[in-house]
């Protein structure tokens, strides 16, 4: 397919360029189809520590940065980390002590390559 496109555009591709283009194409497809799952603990302990504000911030952050189609964000029942909560799970990585003061830095660090 890449060779046909190059012929149509009058471009000559070497084997190395073809391999590189195929790699870039596959990489871009993986990035475009990669969905991130993020869960926030909505257990009573985490919720009483301010998760309502954190949830609202995350929803606005995802919308503002056009990430709501790339990131599945949902609440979770108690994650069992009450003494270190509120807790956030991003693709299996647990982040503890998630507060309104820390959440923007956490999201920017986690989603830097997507923005």
Q: What local confidence, expressed as pLDDT, does residue 112 receive?
A: 87
Q: Given a cut of 80, is residue 75 above it in pLDDT?
A: yes
Which tens digit of pLDDT belongs to each residue from 76-99? 999 999 999 899 999 999 999 999
| 93: nearest Cα among 39, 44, 49 | 39
- The CATH code belonging to domain 35-110 is 3.40.30.10
Q: What local confidence, expressed as pLDDT, does residue 114 receive?
A: 80
Which tens digit of pLDDT belongs to each residue from 16-56? 555 555 655 555 555 555 678 999 999 999 989 988 899 99
Q: What local confidence, expressed as pLDDT, does residue 89 receive?
A: 96
Q: At what angle do helices 15-33 and 2-9 cross, to 10 degrees?
A: 110
Domains in the chain: boundaries: 2-31, 35-110
CB atoms within 10 A of CB 103: 21
Give mean pLDDT, residues 58-66: 95
């Amino acid at each position: 397919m890449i060779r046909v496109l190059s012929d149509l555009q009058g471009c000559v591709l070497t084997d190395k360029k073809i391999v590189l283009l195929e790699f870039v194409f596959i990489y871009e497809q993986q990035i475009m189809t990669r969905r991130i799952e993020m869960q926030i603990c909505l257990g009573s302990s985490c919720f009483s520590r301010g998760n309502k504000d954190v949830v609202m911030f995350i929803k606005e952050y995802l919308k503002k940065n056009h990430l709501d189609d790339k990131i599945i964000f949902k609440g979770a029942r108690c994650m069992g980390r009450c003494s270190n909560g509120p807790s956030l799970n991003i693709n299996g990585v647990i982040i503890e002590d998630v507060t309104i003061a820390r959440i923007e830095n956490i999201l920017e660090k986690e989603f830097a390559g997507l923005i």
